[in-house]
Structure formats: C-alpha cells, structure tokens
Amino acid sequence: MKNGTNGAFISGLEGVVAAQTKLSRVDGMAGELIIGGFAVEELAAQATFEETVYLLWHGRQPINSDPGLGHAANSLYMLTGHQPGPAQIRGLETYWNTVIDHGLNASTFAARVIIATRSDLVSAVTGAVGALKGPLHGGAPGPALDTVFTIGAPENAEPVLRAKLERGERLMGFGHRVYKVRDPRAEVLAAAAAQMYRAEGDMALYDLAKQVEETAVSLLAEYKPGRNLQTNVEFYTALLLHGLGLDSDLFTPAFALSRVAGWIGHCLEQQDYGRLIRPKAEYVGEYGRSWQPIAQRA
C-alpha cells in the first residue's frame, strides 16, 4: 500500500489534518497535551470539572459569583464579565418577575401532567423544558429581534413588513393564543426596556423597535382584519435581553430561569391535588368498517 498526497491512499489517515480545533492539542513527540490553551498539568490540578467544561464550550474561564450581588446581578455579571448597573439589574428583575408564570401554557401543562403520575420533580421540569423548546412556545424572541435588525431603519419598516405579509410569513412578536388585545407583559417590558436604554444613553434601537411595532400592528390590521393581532411578550423580551448583553441563543434559557419557579409551583400544587390528569379524546373516525383479509386488499 502506498502512502501519499494528492488523492492517494493514506492508511488510517495517518498525518492527515482533517479538522481545526481550539479544544486540545496532542504533541506525541514532545509529550504535551494542551486543553483550551492550558497545559494539562496546570489545568487538571487547579480547575474544577465545571470550569473545564465551560472552558471547552466557551473558550474562556468562567467568572465566579459575587456573594455581594443578588441573583439577577450575579447572572449578568457571570454572563458578561461586567458589573451591571442599576438599570440593567432592574431590567432583568422586571423580566423574570413578568414571565415567572402564565396560566396553563404548554410547558406548565406538561409539567403538571408528568408530576400527576407521581413521577419526580426533575422529570416534570425536564418535560416542561422540552415543550418550551418549541418555537411556538419559547423560541420566538430571537426571530422577533432578527426582524428589527433586518429592517435597520424606521423608513424600512413598512416595505419590509408588508413584503413579509405578502409572502404569507408570520410577524414574530405579534399575536397570542389567549390575548386578543395587547399582551400586558409587553407593556411592562416595553417600559423596562425604555428605562434601561435611556440609562445607557442610546435610544436608537428602542426607537426603531417602537416604529417596527407600530407599523406591524397597523399592517396586521390591514392584512388580517378582525383578528386584532397585537404585540406579545416576545417582542420586548428580545429588545430587553439584547440590551442586557445576552446573545439570542440565551433568550429562551433566560426565560426558563424564571419560568422554572412557576413550573415547580404548579408541580407542588398538583401534588397537593393528587389526581392523575387523564382527559378524554373525542373520536372523529369512522364506524362500521369491515375487516378485509390481507390477500383480498387491493
């Protein structure tokens, strides 16, 4: 067998560079192992396993919590590495308070169904997280913010949103299964976002979002008359969390950090109630069909 380059056979792919990685480097000749930029001798003896996991996933060392900070302030500090200001802390506190519970939504119902079987709390919360992952429940804030960034300037709001509606696309951040008027949570979060952006001294993105909101509501009334599609919680969630320095892939986890308290509250309530949740299904199939042996089926 020949070993070579330029398309030739290479036994076992020995010596072939098939990927680039920042995770680890193995130097067999020098007897060195580098993990995340650190010599294994230094890393293994000093880091906790959790720190090493964070290093591999994020490329940097995690920041320890500050016992002098509250939960919201510590969360922002550990995510961004910067001490948050009062407006940022208040923004996250307001967000978490606003979304902590919201009736018998999909994830909460999933948690109650699971705990009602006398399963454990971890299983119930895991099931709730699975429901929350769906974009129709917990995954809309990111796309709502993407729309604002795509528009870019107030004068673009009308043509961009109209084109979306002409193509039959949904406007993320508008409409709700329950609310037939403006979502009251949107009102709370809009005020919190305005306060935070004002404290930062830059209202440009907030003002753009307000223009997008007004234009979207107007166009939805034109294209979908009678449905009264109004701003929902996701629209200002996106604006607020972005202003706090969170990447869009953290929007749904940030929601879950609050809603998990609501899930647990519902689980405790369901445990006290003690009955299995077993609703009926309405049969809408056929009656009176005759079974045909497989040899006689066309």
Spatial distance between the Cα atoms of 272 and 264, rounded to a whole number of angstroms:
12
* Torsion-angle region of 124 (φ positive above 0: left; ψ -120 to 50: alpha; else: beta): alpha
Angle at 95 between CA 92 and CA 101, to 5 degrees: 135
- Alpha-carbon Rg for the chain, nearest whole angstrom, is 26
pLDDT per residue rounded down to tens, the chain (298 residues):
455 556 788 888 788 887 788 888 888 788 888 999 999 889 888 888 889 989 998 899 999 989 999 999 999 999 888 999 999 999 999 999 999 999 889 999 999 999 999 999 999 999 999 999 988 887 667 888 999 999 999 999 999 999 999 999 999 989 888 888 888 889 999 999 999 999 999 999 999 999 999 999 999 999 999 899 999 888 999 999 999 999 988 998 999 999 999 999 999 999 998 899 999 999 999 999 999 999 999 8
Secondary structure string (H, E, C) spanning 160-227: HHHHHHHCCCCCCCECCCCCCCCCHHHHHHHHHHHHHHHHHCCCHHHHHHHHHHHHHHHHHHHHCCCC
Residue ranges in the chain assigned as alpha helix (H):
40-46, 49-58, 71-80, 86-99, 106-116, 121-132, 141-151, 157-166, 184-200, 204-223, 233-243, 251-273
Residues 6+ apart with CB under 8 A from 198: 87
> Which residue's entry shows tokens 């429901």?
131
Q: Walk me through the domains of the chain, giving residue ranges and CATH numbers.
A: 11-58 (no CATH), 71-273 (1.10.230.10)
Q: Please tell me whether residue 141 adopts helix, strand or coil conformation.
A: helix
Own/partner pairs for 272-280, CB < 8 Å, 24+ apart? 273/116, 275/116, 276/116, 276/117, 277/112, 277/113, 277/116
Spatial distance between the Cα atoms of 158 and 155, rounded to a whole number of angstroms:
7
Would you please indicate which residues are annotated as catalytic (active-site) residues?
176, 234
Cβ pair 213, 235 in contact under 8 A: yes
pTM of the model: 0.81
Residue type, 23: L
Cβ pair 63, 82 in contact under 8 A: no
Spatial distance between the Cα atoms of 193 and 196, rounded to a whole number of angstroms:
5
